[in-house]
Structure 1
Amino acid sequence: MIPNLPAASAAGQPADWLTPGRFAVLLALLVGSAFPGVVLGVESFFHRDFGVLAYPTVVFHREAFWRGEVPLWNPLSHCGVPFLAQWGTMPLYPGALLYLLLPLPWSLNLFCLAHLWLGGWGLHALARRWGGDGFAAALAGVVFTFNGLAQACLIWPNYTVALGWMPWAVLLAERAAVEGGRLVPTAALVLALQLLAGAPELAGMTWLAAISLACVAPTPGAAAVHEAARNFFARRLGRLGSMLGLALALCAAQLLPFFDLLAQSQRATVASPEKWALPIWGWANLLAPLFRCEPTIQGAWFQQSQQFFGSLYLGAGVLTLAGLAPTRDRTPRVWCLLGLALLGYALAVGEASPLQRALGAVVPGWSAVRYPVKFILLTAFAAPLLAAPALAQLRRAPRPVAALAGVATTGVLALGGVLAWSVATEADTTRAQAMGMNTLTRLALLAPFWLGCAAWLRAGRWRRQWPGGLLALAALVVDYRLHLPHLTPTLPAGLLQPRPQSQAGLPRPGDGRVFITPAAEAALLHSRVADFTRDFAGKRLALWSNLNLLEGVAKVNGAATLRPRPQVELEAALYAATNAPDLPLLDFLGVTHCSAPGNPTEWVRRDTANPLVTAGQEPVFLAGAETLAAVLAADFDPRREVVLSPEVASRVTAKSTAQAGVKVVSLGANRIEFVVQATEPVLAVVAQTWHPNWRARVGGNAAPVWRANHAFQAVAVPPGVHRVELRYVDHAFRVGTVISALTAAALAGLGVARRKAAMRAAGNRGWR
């Protein structure tokens, strides 16, 4: 897949010592040396979403894989929620085989670092193609791999995957748009791999960058004359459209279920309030990591206005070189990159930007983007690609070292200005001192970086170039790894091993659920435990976020991004109730354990929980908000009544009867089977989230699944003994799988046909 790159320098110019292959090895060594314990498997990432959200999701996926199941549905969180259709779970990403087959958590850590390395190598290839200088391209690759944003994204494996493929997607899309041919399906494949990571905003940024840069790319050689005779702009857009269409078709198995869930989720009808936008002054954090940041009790630092990214740091050296690029290289590509960098910042500040407000008014679905700060990743992509040609152009200056000294002085003055601004405005002495020491350290580490660059500029032969180049790259890596305390902390890997707690008295799936009380949820969210080990161990005991998936315990809430709207409404109302642990609704939900008052890591048993499936309740018909109020009422009796919509009243013949029995025959993630015995028509009520993909068969005949008790399931069962089967049937996934398979087969067949045609053509030339 690695494209054929042009020579990095003209004949006689000794700038080619850092070839793509050598850089790949060097970058792998740098990544390994930066995270040695993680690579060896003795330590593991865990901080923030990695440990409590991403890692348990991977464990759930892995267990389904080894059971031979497609993980369509997660029955353990939110009383049941779609799994495959979520963004970010990566069930169809081919690279997931790494952590599905190899031991956890080491394999997931390696998976993340491998994609971090892939992204840096890809940006090196992209910068090398554009700038033609090995060291400048290497600098761009190292910056993309180790900058603060890239390290901050390690807590989300899907973001790391999307970043890893981003440079390759832009590179191959540009080549395919210019050259056409077999590069079009190759670029489509890479775009599809990034889409399967499940990071929609990053995919959108990648497509924007790819289309923009492909449209301004020069056409090399004789092809330029040929293309100039035609409407080259239309041809390029046509090829780009083909790439995107093929990528979407290849990902249909993932995208169709996702859009189906999105349409039914809380994000579809209610505009999400903006959260965690970059402040207008946030540009200062690109230079000084601790500017206007606050420490947590565990020693990590975050901006006062957003806690999505743990770091935004790019560094004064890189940013001053990036700012120099338009003055040294006035090609359309450089101006396009500058525009992308500024656009990323303008979108990241959220509603403070007129552009963000305008897009929210005219672009459908823009309200689903909750965290505008994500768009700063576009700036982080463009900045090293601007720095690379600027550094390469300095070599051609009459006095390159003097020119570099001017750039270095600008960077030092900018960083000093931010420090002075902080001293003048920071009222907290402790934060001011930490900011000052951190910024002075950044200034100190700029010295070896600029000295290495100067040595590289002065050297004539490659044997004299590489020591200076390696010094500059090493200074960058050290600066990025040390720029912020506790950005990527680790724990002993053994602390993340799954340990099912069913032996400790917690319910097994199907036997009941646990309920984290609102007070316990708030205490866990705003944990005051300073020690990382104790904090993570406590959250595991409390089954917080997705950690219940590690233990195989079902619970009422969870951490899924997209959920059916009725379930979201009920869960929000339940957690807003002041008497939530005492509500009869918890009996219906099968809650056997609640968080202990005053200690979220302990559990108090409840002995009034209903089974997962009950029958014989009297139907009560209420609409809208009345349904929610009824099931949250203190006098709600889930053993005697079930609340349904008035829309189904004419089809319900069930009556209240005490002579109804239910026996669960089998229970799986995507299927429930039980037997109902009743003397009259009854409703079988299932305390599982209602979703239209759940289909029922009663005695072998199809039956509707009605929404009951606002967000759950009910099936009508006639008198007698009847076997009822509930199965999760995702037609969007099935249709998407057919589309993806046919597209992949067509591309494979086209590739084979082209290869045979090329071999025949080569044979004919040889015969002549």
Structure 2
Amino acid sequence: MTTPRTRRRAGLPTVVGLLALLAFVYWPVLGGQLFAGRDLFRIFFPDSAFLLESLRAGEVPLWNPYLRLGQPFAATLYSQVYYPPRWAAVLLTGPIVSMTVMQLGHVVLAAVGVFLLCRRRRTSWAAAVVAGTTFGLSVLMTRLGTQQNVVDAAAWSGFIVGAALDLQRRPGRGPLARLAVYGALSLFAGSPETTLWQGLVAVLAAGGAPRCVPEARARSVALVTAGFALAALLAAVALLPTAEFARNSLRAQESWRWPLVWSMSWPQVLSAMWPLADWPRDHYWGEDQWFILSVFLGTLPCALAALGALRGPRRARPFAVAALVLVALSLGRHFAPAAWVLLHVPPFSLFRYPVKYFVGAAFCVSVLSAFGVDALGRLARRLRPSRLRAAVALVGMVGAMAVLGPVARRLSMRAAAEAGAPWVPLCLGLAALVVLWPRGGFARPRQVRRGVALLAVLEVAASHALLGRTGYARLAPLLRPFSLRVFLPQPYPGRISVDIQGPEDPSRGGTGNTVERSLEQLIPNRFVEARLPALEGSGAPEPVYSEVFHDAGQRTVFDLAGVTHYLRNGPPPYDDLELLHTADDGTTLSRSRTALPRAFLVQRARVVTDAQALAAVMEDSQPFRHTAFLASGAPLERPSCTGAVEWVLQGAQHQELKVEACDESYLVVSDSHYPGWTATVDGQEAPIHRADLALRAVLLPRGAHTVRFDYRPLSFRLGLALSALSGLGLAAVLLRRPRARKTPSVS
């Protein structure tokens, strides 16, 4: 029986060991380096910079004016606008350092959550340490740090499932509130697929509890489902704008060409326990996924998980079922039943990255590994240890290490699988030696558990040395400002075009030099950090016209969008551009004299189809200079004349212009047309029309006018109301005192 004294004696070494392993895994951070992987500088550095800018301005960052002529910001869940840890990290440490702080904090949170869950499931202390280490500090979780939103959401898994089990055992307000809050934090972290698999695991764990009658099982499932429904209501302020953005993106189109992109391949599933079994991987958009750079969990943890599933208690079975289901889903297009579910069954059909479900499988494997450690301890009581058996195990281990590599080559496995083959028998053989080596007394099962746990933790540490670490960079280069900014006017009235789709896109690398190049070329979204509005942009979801408009690469689109400057990794894209500067690495900055202003007047308008508008936008004669091609509104045919447009305010969510219309005219603003924008003309509400396929236009009578645009989306207001009401209702229920029972009077 575990006493408070034994818990304290075990707790201090555990904490010290966790910190030591954390320091080993992230040792570059101790040397002053920071995380600088793929999507960190593609998305999270720019998003953090804009979030900080908005927070300092005292406004909720609903709209990003710098990206793709402007697009919703809070509606991209991975922006984590409503996630409290992101606010704290960005405000206290800045947009660059905050990503490393977030990663370190959340891997510790993930490890602690799984540890506490396993202890709640009555596993031994050593077994819980194996589970927490496997999930929080594995190569998978560390290399996944470039996808910060996935790590942040997954870190709440142990707490979510633990709250669901508490709700199953003792239904009440407290467990329900904890489940809802943890679920809402997972949603605010910005990876809805993660919250989806967390809900699946929680339902299976609560509904599959042993010795549970069908009525109680149904009640448990209903309560856990209600907890996640309440979590969704608490997160409605983020979810409703996200749903609106998805409806107005390429993903809402049946012709969208990226369903089930980045599905796990079968060799990658094997590589969870066999290091390098999936290398070399197929090309970037090939059969292998590149979302998670390594899925290796460890040979010994995976073997222990299999033992826990087969020989563990009944309470381990829901995690075994969940692991199999999530592995199948992660295969996506490589497993026909999973592909059908992911394409046709809501809510799975709403998402495109099947590999994210493998993070859930890793969570279940981690929990099962704890049951496996204890099962191995029980098995040790029935095995008669001897030096002879240990010697046989040692010989078998050495023989397997010598033979498994050639066998892998004969089986036509991938080239690097042979190099990783000795790792598998080495880890399993050492575990066998721990079990078979003679020991006396009643402490033997405990010693076996501790010995195997130590081996599993050491394997996690050694796997980082074997498979390498993610990209790091020094802080000073990351804080260096965009050097070519001095060649641009202050303030900057136009737009810039960057070569996001170019062949030298560095976003797929992870070295410090790559990060520096990305800033100097503003690739992919680093123009946001320089506060330069751009035509292009990177990130999901993609606006509905992005492929044919923002990313078309046509001179007519550049001129219509007001692109005054071009930044290219090479010569300027057009001969008539004025070259302003050539950097040492060949990057050029050039200026255009043909770009339209970002707001202009036309006295002609036609109501056309989208196909006709696109044709007009692409026409070399550029008819949009004098004619607005509208999706709605009234046609207009007036003689061309000269008016005047002056910007008074160009904020992120509020714009104001002074306009002198020489005749009845349409004011065309080369910002994105999107639901939620409202317009007033001289204080009176005016309709906004979609012009030239993707822009905004307002009809003005002749004369002087003040035109104001404000972004006030109904999805945000309704979501905020639902979140506020749900939060207040939850607080009222928790704070309500239970009624005192009346005691019968004695006469």
Q: TM-score, normalised by structure 1?
A: 0.85
Aligned to 2:175: 183
* Counterparts of 2:220 and 2:671, CA distance in 1: 50
Look up the match of 1:547: 526
Q: Which residue of 1 aligns with 2:576?
A: none
Worse-superposed segment, 412-421 or 387-396: 412-421
Moved more, 21-30 or 159-168: 21-30
1:247 matched to 2:258? The reply is no
The 8 Å contact of residues 455 and 468 in structure 1, kept in 2 or not, is answered as: no
Superposition deviation, residue 655 in structure 1: 3.3
**Residue 559 of structure 2 aligns with which residue?**
587
Partner of 1:672: 655
Is 1:521 equivalent to 2:502 in the alignment? yes
Secondary structure at the aligned position of 1:289 is classed as: coil
In the TM superposition, 1:483-632 aligns within 5 A as 483-485=466-468, 487-497=469-479, 499-500=481-482, 503-506=485-488, 511-517=493-499, 521-524=502-505, 532-572=511-551, 574-575=552-553, 580=554, 583-596=555-568, 597-598=570-571, 601-632=587-618
- 1:391 pairs with one of 373, 382, 386: 373
Matched, 1:703 2:686: yes
**Cα contact 2:373–2:449 (8 A) shared by 1:** no
Task: Give the Cα–Cα distance (whole angstroms) in 2 for the partners of residues 669 and 415 of structure 1.
Answer: 61
The gaps in structure 2 that reach 5 residues or longer are 572-584
Give the equivalent residue in structure 2 for 1:682. 665
Question: C-alpha deviations, 1:460-505, integer Å up to 9, x for none?
Answer: 56997898477435413322322313x4121101222262557422
User: Which residue is equivalent to 2:197?
Assistant: 205
Instruction: State the 1:97 CA deviation.
Output: 2.4
Q: Where does 1:243-392 land on structure 2 (aligned, <5 Å)?
A: 243-270=227-254, 271=256, 272-294=258-280, 305-331=288-314, 333-360=315-342, 362-364=344-346, 366-392=348-374
The normalised TM-score by structure 2 is 0.88
2:234, 2:138 → 1: CA distance?
32
Identify the residue that residue 3 of structure 1 maps to in structure 2: none
1:347–1:375 CA contact under 8 A, matched in 2:
yes
Of stretches 503-512 and 166-175 in structure 1, the one that deviates more from structure 2 is 503-512
SS in 2 for 1:294: coil
Q: Are 2:459 and 1:476 aligned?
A: yes
1:69 is the counterpart of 2:27: no
Residue 71 of structure 2 corresponds to residue 92 of structure 1: no
Counterpart position of 1:5: none
After TM superposition, give the deviation of residue 273 of structure 1 in Å: 3.2
- Of all paired residues, the percent bearing the same amino acid is 26
> Is the counterpart of residue 717 in structure 1 residue 709 in structure 2?
no
Q: Tell me the equivalent position of 2:98.
A: 107
CA distance in 2, matches of 1:338, 1:570: 48
- AA at the equivalent of 1:232: A
RMSD (CA atoms): 3.5
Write out per-residue CA displacement over residues 731-768 of structure 1, whole angstroms, 9 at most, x where no aligned residue.
Answer: 211121122112212222222223xx49x79x99xxxx
Q: Is the 8 A contact 2:134 2:366 kept in 1?
A: yes
Helix, strand or coil at the partner of 2:736: helix
Distance 2:157 2:401 in 1: 29
For 1:521, the aligned partner's letter is G
The 3-state SS of whatever aligns with 1:349 is helix
- Cα distance, 1:570 vs. partner? 1.7
| Offset of residue 419 of structure 1 | 3.4
CA contact (8 A) 2:25 2:137 kept: no
| Distance in 2 of aligned mates of 1:683 and 1:409 | 85
Equivalence for 1:6: none
Deviations 1:64-118 (A, max 9, x none): 1111121111111111111001121100011112222212322321111111110
Paired with 1:124 and 1:595, the residues of 2 have a C-alpha distance of 50
Conserved 8 A contact 2:616-2:624: no
State the Cα deviation string for residues 494-550 of structure 1 (Å, max 9, x = none).
2222625574223667611221247x62221587x9x93332211211111121122
Alpha-carbon spacing, 1:728–1:508, altered in 2? closer, same or farther (3 Å)? farther
Q: 1:623 to 1:132 in 2, by over 3 A?
A: same
- Tell me which residue corresponds to 2:134: 143
User: Relative to structure 1, is the Cα distance of residues 304 and 615 closer, same or farther in structure 2, using a 3 angstrom cutoff?
Assistant: same
Give the unaligned 5+ runs of structure 1. 1-8
In structure 2, C-alpha distance between the alignment counterparts of 1:364 and 1:658, rounded to whole Å: 54
- Counterpart CA distance in 2 for 1:217 and 1:62 is 45
Instruction: Please tell me whether residue 78 in structure 1 is matched to residue 62 in structure 2.
Output: no
d(CA) in 2 for partners of 1:621 and 1:213? Answer: 57
How has the CA–CA distance of structure 1 residues 186 and 489 changed in structure 2, closer, same or farther, with 3 Å as cutoff? same
CA distance in structure 1 between the partners assigned to 2:69 and 2:461 by the alignment: 46
Cα distance change of structure 1 residues 511 and 36 upon mapping to structure 2, 3 Å threshold: same
* Rounded Cα–Cα distance in structure 2 between residues aligned with 1:296 and 1:44: 29
